[in-house]
Homo-oligomer: A and B are copies of this chain.
Amino acid sequence: MSRPTVNDIAKAAGVSLATVDRVLNQRPGVTEKTVGRVNAAIDQLGYVRDVTAANLARQRRYRMTFVLPETPVLFVGTLREAIAEAVRGSASDRTDVRIVTFPADNPHALVRALRTISRANTDGMAIFAPETPHVRDAIARLKADGVPIVALVSDLPNTDRDHFVGIDNVAAGRTAGLLMGKFHGRQPGAVMVLVSSMQARDNVERRLGFDRIMAERFPRIEVLPSIEGHDNDDVTARVVNAVLDNRPDITGIYSIGHGSRALLDLLRARMAPGTLSVVAHELTKVTRDALKTGMFDAVISQNVGHIVRSAIRVLRAKSDGVGIVPSQERIRIEIVVQENLP
């Protein structure tokens, strides 16, 4: 029941080992007819390359590059930590990981950062960045050189990226809306929606999902227009307090962005836990604290450890030309409440 080896292929195809190697690795010097015979033997015997033996022979390293925004947003910090942890856990499997960052508000810096990444220093890239023409071009360049690309957290649907590792943000917004509606109860009320930036695709998609389900299933709850906090604590505090001052009928808050301390602080200063229904996104130190103390009711989350490991797995598989286990690489929309905090 042992696995066929290159020697078995050589015998079955009636050729030498050198010819098998040439066919397997697309090296020149083999006629089409012979290529056919070797490939037939490969199919017939169900040969699958032993990637670990090949990596040993080749001294293969997998150089993965993660491109991340530099931002005070805590969620990105959790991503960085997850990458650091993955690096520690992968020391023994030939994977080298580096992080390339760009200031979140500087598209030129992003362009410059992407320029430093090439086939010469990267075997796979995972990128969390907005979709711009420059990003599209950089991805096309790398792909043309055979570098697999994973879009991380926020999809880049109009690029040639190989895979998206993240959640469906429309569905995440719908999930948030369903919970808000159910937590809210049957009385009428108004829900404030706080976003980081309406430019960010994930914020837009989440709001879309939220609006849909609130309209479909909880029409007695008024959903207010989005207010933007720009991932800035002072701005957030100002705009949220303004709404709370002007709308005493507010019964819930949906925080769409990647989480900030300001919202938690101002809620703490104004009211007791449980006064409003609060649903937020992403599990960070702040949202953990808020869940524990009852200031937030639920956090819609994605497992950053899983995301990072998945990105690495997918990039390696693409590099090796082998398949992935689709269910393993599917990132789930997680609902976290006080009692199931991981």
Q: A: which residues have CB within 8 A of B? A: 48, 50-53, 55-56, 85-86, 88-89, 91-93, 171-172, 174-175, 177-179, 182-183, 185-186, 209, 213, 297, 300, 303, 305, 309, 322, 325, 327-328, 330, 332-340, 342
Contact = CB atoms under 8 A, between A and B. Distances in A.
A249 to B, nearest CB: 18
Nearest to A93: B52
Contact of A335 (B53, B55, B297, B335): B335
B325 A85 contact: yes
A339 B213 contact: yes
Given A183-B183, A303-B332, A335-B340, 18 more contacts: A48-B91, A50-B92, A52-B93, A56-B56, A85-B327, A86-B325, A89-B325, A171-B340, A172-B340, A174-B339, A178-B338, A179-B337, A185-B186, A305-B328, A309-B328, A332-B340, A333-B340, A335-B335
Contact of A342 (B88, B332, B336): B332
* Stoichiometry, copies per complex: 2
List 8 tightest A-B contacts by C-beta distance, closest first. A333-B340, A335-B335, A52-B52, A174-B339, A89-B325, A175-B339, A175-B340, A185-B185
A330 B342 contact: yes
B337 A175 contact: yes
B332 A305 contact: no
Contacts of A305: 327-328
A52 B59 CA distance: 12
12 contacts: A51-B92, A88-B325, A172-B340, A175-B340, A178-B339, A185-B186, A213-B339, A300-B340, A303-B332, A305-B328, A332-B340, A334-B334
